[in-house]
Amino acid sequence: MKVALLSVLMLFWSSAECSNPHPLDPLTPSEINLVQTIVQKAYPTSNTTDHNLIFNYVGLDEPNKLQILSWQSSNPKTKPKPSPPPPRRAFVIARFQKQSHEIIVDLSKSSIVSTKVYQGNGYPPLTLGEIEVATQLPLSYEPFKKSLRKRSLNVSEVQCVAFTFGWFGEAKTRRLVQIKCHYRNGTANFYARPLEGVEILVDFDDMKIVGYNDRYVVALPKAEGTEYRASKLKPPSAPKLKQHDGPGFTIDGHTVRYNQ
Residue 1 pLDDT grade (very low, low, confident, very high; cuts 50, 70, 90): very low
When pLDDT is averaged across residues 218-225 and rounded to a whole number, the result is: 92
Long-range pairs of 20-24 with CB within 8 A, sequence gap ≥ 24? 20/82, 21/85, 21/88, 22/85, 23/62, 23/63, 23/67, 23/68, 23/71, 23/85, 23/86, 23/88, 24/60, 24/62, 24/63, 24/68
Residue 22 pLDDT grade (very low, low, confident, very high; cuts 50, 70, 90): confident
3-state helix, strand, coil in the chain (%, to 5): 25, 25, 50
Beta strands 111-118 and 99-106, pairing class = antiparallel
- From 158, 153, 141, 143, select the one nearest 215 (Cα to Cα): 143
Rounded CA separation 132/56 (Å): 14
Residue 98 and residue 80 share a domain: yes
Residue 132 and residue 88 share a domain: no
Cβ–Cβ < 8 Å for 107, 90 = yes
Residue 143 and residue 57 share a domain: no
Residue 27 and residue 77 share a domain: yes
Q: Is residue 52 exposed (0-12), middle (13-18) or buried (19+ Cβ within 10 Å)?
A: buried
Which residues span the domain enclosing 74? 6-118
> Domain ends where: 118, 148, 169?
118
Please say whether the dihedral angle defined by the alpha carbons of residues 36, 39, 43 and 44, taken in this order, is positive or negative.
Answer: positive
pLDDT in tens, 84-109: 889 999 999 999 999 999 999 999 99
- From 143, 107, 126, select the one nearest 26 (Cα to Cα): 107
Rounded CA separation 58/89 (Å): 11
Asked whether residue 259 is assigned to any structural domain, the reply reads no
- From 224, 57, 240, 49, select the one nearest 133 (Cα to Cα): 49
Rounded CA separation 210/230 (Å): 40
Burial per residue of 79-111, b for 16 or more beta-carbon CB atoms within 10 angstroms, e otherwise = eeeeeebbebbbbbbbbbeeebbebebbbeeee
pLDDT in tens, 139-191: 999 999 999 999 999 999 999 999 998 888 888 889 999 999 999 998 999 99
Asked whether residue 237 is assigned to any structural domain, the reply reads no
Residue 133 and residue 207 share a domain: yes
> Domain ends where: 70, 98, 118?
118
Residue 199 φ then ψ, to 5°: -115, 125
Say which CATH number the domain at 20 has: 3.10.450.40
> Domain ends where: 77, 99, 118?
118
Residue 102 and residue 12 share a domain: yes
Q: What is the domain count for the chain? A: 2
Asked whether residue 251 is assigned to any structural domain, the reply reads no
Asked whether residue 27 is assigned to any structural domain, the reply reads yes
pLDDT in tens, 114-143: 999 999 888 999 999 999 999 999 999 999
Residue 134 and residue 192 share a domain: yes
Residue 138 and residue 111 share a domain: no
- From 127, 109, 100, 90, select the one nearest 43 (Cα to Cα): 100
Residue 28 and residue 68 share a domain: yes
Residue 78 and residue 132 share a domain: no
When pLDDT is averaged across residues 235-241 and rounded to a whole number, the result is: 68
pTM of the model: 0.77
Rounded CA separation 160/181 (Å): 4
Residue 161 and residue 106 share a domain: no
Asked whether residue 199 is assigned to any structural domain, the reply reads yes
Residue 174 and residue 110 share a domain: no
Asked whether residue 249 is assigned to any structural domain, the reply reads no
